[in-house]
Structure 1
Amino acid sequence: METLLLIFNPYTGGNKLKNKLHEMICRFSEAGYLLHVYPTTGPGDARRMAQEHGAGHDLVVCCGGDGTLNEVVDGLLCHQPMPRLGYVPCGTTNDFAASLKLPKNNIMKAVERIVAPKAVMQCDVGLLNERCFNYVAAFGELTDVSYKTPQTFKNFLGYSAYLLEAMQRLPKLESHHARIVCDNGVYEDDYLFGLVANSASVAGFTFPDKEQIHLDDGIFEMLLVKHPHNFGEMSEVSAAVLRGDVSSPLLTVTRVKHLEFVSDAPCSWSLDGEFGGMLTEASIQVKRQALSICV
């Protein structure tokens, strides 16, 4: 009998998960798994549980949002071989689930994709100064919106909660002078924000040639947004990001395997929507096909 470690965040997604938890456990048991169930109680809990107990299980299932999944993957990376991972997305945005084409609004459909997956995908994982991220590492303005938005707002308003928080911050945006050295060049300017992603789209921006973007090729996408100097440039940046228009001189889009980041002053980073630290230097690399996830 295979063993399954179920790690779930009881605070995510309102009552969606709580109402389905018993049914979910029964379905995994019917599928022949011996279950160990663990609810998280605070930040770092999912990481610790995955690190301490993940190796003793054939399958680890994460139920929660992008942040909970980030912790679980971070905890599992120390295990070789790594157990298979299943993901039941229950958060507010579930960006990574969208990239994997997992059911986002139906918990039991997501469970079935774990019990009888179409495939087990070998997925890339990013590292920022040895901390992992599954789909995005971002720096600069508005990158902290996801973890500073109150959880009650997220549960009640969903993605609109992020938009409301961002709109309140727009008049106070500041730039960050940074130098980025990567595989195909050196970029230095005053940036509003930037991100490195293992995804065809992030935060409403869709990268060009998305059909050529793969989650297992050892290559990530990079977007840099220069600081707008007036209202006209701010409007141009907003429109370009929403349209995915990379022709704007205020946007830089390229593909990277590795980069070194240096800024003049400490800059806020987020990893999969969670706080990643205030950094003046950062090194990002890709661990190719480090994660085995049921899709």
Structure 2
Amino acid sequence: MDPNILFIVNPKSRSGEAIKIWEKKILPQVLMFFPDANWVFTTRQYEASLLAYSAKKRGYDIVVAVGGDGTINEIVNGLLGNQLLNSNPSNFPEIFGSPLKLNNLTDNNSTPSLAFIPLGTGSDFIKSIGIPKNINKALTIIKQRKSIITDVGYIEFQNESFHPRYFINIAGCGANGETVKRLNESDKKFGKRGAFLIAAIKTLLKNQSFPVQISFDNESYIPFDLRVLFICNGQYCGGGMRISRDASLNNGKFKVVQIRKMNKIKSIFLLNRLYSGNYKGLENDIIEREATTIKIKSLENAIVPAESDGKMPGYLPASFSIKPNKLSIIAKI
């Protein structure tokens, strides 16, 4: 028997081309694999978290993220009960597809498995779990329903005006937060990798550092002149940067890549290293370690942006903690 499956589609992904791609290329294949599938389109930012939360309550077995890393992040938060938008469920968008499946859903509190159809500009998270960009192959993996239990990260801000946020891939702060801010303000006409490179180079040429104090696993705070901090559950971000070759989604620990202030020439050189994940010869500038909890606060009234799966949810001070075995995801095993 086919599972109760809901595809949450971000029609604005891939610079607004996603809706056309869904209708012409993806939906016909979806209905070949899952004739009784349901699907729904997001209409605004953060709505995917509400739709995922509703899908959990309504008893879906699988929720499929059709979009990029931002869409995945919102759905992860919704599946874990962290609604990023206040809304009346009666105002949710219309759910399309099989009325039989809709009518036969029963309320429960079990969390659906999360699956993926990559339709974002970058789609970095799927690189860590072997999901291909080929739609037919991605649907085949969903049909096989082989899953792994993954850890997720959780960010809490001391400033209560910033909403806590789960993340499944990579978070951090410093220049990457500044880069994400620039990226989200760009039109991405060169694709995510091109837009990210432009945003990253502009940020690196600014050569700003951030005076902070960092505590790992509740040890004493240590002052650090921070350039960039990556907190890795997955391995890739920024349109293909392999930040940590050793990051694992289910070992109960983050891989942390901590980069201190360096001159502009080294900073540009670093950009190439971030794509390979090879930091040999830069040990004085880049510190790699494992941790389960990272607490960071800024010094000298520095305004330090935090980043989470390619979005900027707030500013320091903040704590980043691992939550083991939180989510079932369908992956290539």
- Amino acid in the other structure paired with 2:284: P
Q: Paired residue for 1:9?
A: 10
The whole-number CA distance in structure 2 between the counterparts of 1:147 and 1:112 is 36
Q: What are the Cα deviations for residues 115-174 of structure 1, in whole angstroms up to 9, with x where unaligned?
A: 224x21111110011410011112011424345336884355341121122223333232
Q: Contact between 1:120 and 1:292, CA under 8 Å: does it hold in 2?
A: yes
Q: Contact between 1:12 and 1:155, CA under 8 Å: does it hold in 2?
A: no
Deviation at 1:193, TM superposition (A): 1.3
Q: Contact between 2:122 and 2:191, CA under 8 Å: does it hold in 1?
A: no
Question: Higher mean Cα deviation, 90-99 or 241-250?
Answer: 241-250
Q: What are the Cα deviations for residues 236-257 of structure 1, in whole angstroms up to 9, with x where unaligned?
A: 6446545521543111110111
Cα distance change, pair 32–87 in 1 and its aligned pair in 2 (3 A): closer
Question: Higher mean Cα deviation, 27-36 or 48-57?
Answer: 27-36
Of 296, 302, 312, 1:275 maps to: 312
Cα distance change, pair 282–151 in 1 and its aligned pair in 2 (3 A): closer
Q: Paired residue for 2:140?
A: 112
**Aligned pair 1:138/2:141, yes or no?**
no
Residues 146-185 of structure 1: matches in 2 within 5 Å? 146=180, 148-149=182-183, 153-154=187-188, 156-183=190-217
> How high is the TM-score relative to the length of structure 2?
0.77
- Amino acid in the other structure paired with 1:216: N
Cα distance change, pair 111–171 in 1 and its aligned pair in 2 (3 A): same
Q: Paired residue for 1:291?
A: 327
- Partner SS, residue 266 of structure 1: coil
Q: Paired residue for 1:75?
A: 78
- Amino acid in the other structure paired with 2:244: F
- Amino acid in the other structure paired with 1:101: G
Q: Contact between 2:174 and 2:227, CA under 8 Å: does it hold in 1?
A: yes
Deviation at 1:97, TM superposition (A): 0.3
> How high is the TM-score relative to the length of structure 1?
0.86
Q: Paired residue for 1:218?
A: 252
Cα distance change, pair 163–231 in 1 and its aligned pair in 2 (3 A): closer
Q: Which runs of 5+ in 1 are unaligned?
A: none
Identical positions, percent = 26
Q: Contact between 1:17 and 1:107, CA under 8 Å: does it hold in 2?
A: no
Cα distance change, pair 152–110 in 1 and its aligned pair in 2 (3 A): farther
Q: Paired residue for 1:95?
A: 124
Q: Which runs of 5+ in 2 are unaligned?
A: 82-107, 157-163
Cα distance change, pair 48–242 in 1 and its aligned pair in 2 (3 A): closer
Q: Paired residue for 1:122?
A: 149
The whole-number CA distance in structure 2 between the counterparts of 1:240 and 1:62 is 30
Cα distance change, pair 257–95 in 1 and its aligned pair in 2 (3 A): same
Coordinate RMSD, CA, aligned: 2.6
The whole-number CA distance in structure 1 between the counterparts of 2:189 and 2:139 is 21
- Amino acid in the other structure paired with 2:330: C
Question: Higher mean Cα deviation, 242-251 or 283-292?
Answer: 242-251
- Amino acid in the other structure paired with 1:49: L
**Aligned pair 1:262/2:290, yes or no?**
no
Cα distance change, pair 239–188 in 1 and its aligned pair in 2 (3 A): farther
- Amino acid in the other structure paired with 2:36: L
